[in-house]
Structure 1
């Protein structure tokens, strides 16, 4: 790491934003821009494979959340890198970037909650998760960058709490992939909080996000949208 010190700036206080180097800015943009087209194509595939209204709705919600994550992140990092004099625009995009994460988490659960049979108590998670996303969005609007640890905890809670509904699903196909994807997200958080300690830490976090999202997409495609999975699904009532 010592040999790579020129590629990163010093760590900043908790109440300040880390300023990436030129190399890190470029990496931050590239590591999410690369996945924009695949996310759009993947979402389109799910839409094409949809056989009923709820599959179509779920494909739209999930696809919009997945694509928005990479598009908004790329736009924010590009503006932050190339248009540093647009501080107000950059600040708004940074907030939007954080808000989109809540929407992405909710959208990632939507196909499972909408298309799988759930237990009586677990069915409420279909709307609870969107309330959680709304609360997270409001939190970012009022407390953006003030309490970074609290924000991280909010992401973790929203990421794992809805997963408990899997325990109520009679059909648990895809559980291994969901756990594997969650593992990559959790491991990536180490780098998410390592700016100024590890060169290209944020870009590495982006790669872990892409890997986690890719695994979860595979699980949705295989276990919810393939013809062999049709008999194991049910629409919300």
Structure 2
């Protein structure tokens, strides 16, 4: 309990307006992410497309839901340190599964090299490993957590580059740039007003670009092909 209290005490305490912005900037995207995942599911032309759409939709929606719940808890029940800490842990764990879910459509629906295909399941092992680390060492070694997210984002990207069909890679890179630049604001709480809310906006933009790429290059071609046949 002392560890939880001390960690909460050292963390930057947002203003009321910043709390509201933190909730709104991710809460707003919950419904669109549900709709977006459903659209991909109904555009699916086979079982693999449906599984990929389900995984991606759940990861995308889960990220915005857990983030909104945590920031709501940090705003309204911050005096319940242990409860807030549990929400914070879930928020951090959801990021690992969101990264895995974001890559899954590309890894499942594109032709990969003989060694690269193993990343389809390795990325979920990485997500489980990262979540286990958060469960046991949450907020103790922040640099290690940050490096874990960077590794989760970078390693599968190397596999994506091995694809024969590279359509959509430009959009993937662009979305990745938004995530990376957003980290600057993520680490600027207390230095830049509304820094965390700005980080949320960068995440939403990056996720939107990645969603467009998945819809445009992985799902739309299948629908067009079925219609032409």
* TM bucket normalised to smaller: over 0.9
Instruction: Say if 1:72 and 1:14 are closer, same or farther in 2 by CA, change over 3 A.
Output: closer
CA distance in 2, matches of 1:224, 1:175: 12
User: How many residue pairs end up in the alignment?
Assistant: 220
Name the counterpart of 2:163.
Answer: 169
Q: Considering only aligned residues, what root-mean-square deviation do their CA atoms show, in Å?
A: 1.8
Q: Which runs of 4+ in 1 moved over 6 A?
A: none
Instruction: Tell me the distance in 1 between the aligned counterparts of 2:21 and 2:125.
Output: 34
CA displacement, residues 3-45 of structure 1 (integer Å, 9 cap, x when unaligned)? xxxxxxxxxx999322111111011001001111110110010
Q: Deviations over 1:103-144 (max 9, x none)?
A: 000000000000000001100100110111011001101111
- 1:1-237 equivalences in 2 (<5 Å): 16-227=10-221
**1:228, CA displacement in angstroms?**
5.4
**Gapped runs of 5+ residues in structure 2?**
1-6
Q: Once the two structures are superposed, what CA deviation does each residue of 1:146-177 show, in whole Å capped at 9, x if it has no partner?
A: 11111111101110110111222110000110
Gaps of 5+ in 1: 1-12, 232-237
C-alpha distance after superposition, 1:182-220 (max 9, x if no partner): 000000000000001101000000000000000000000
Normalized per residue, the structure richer in helix is: 2
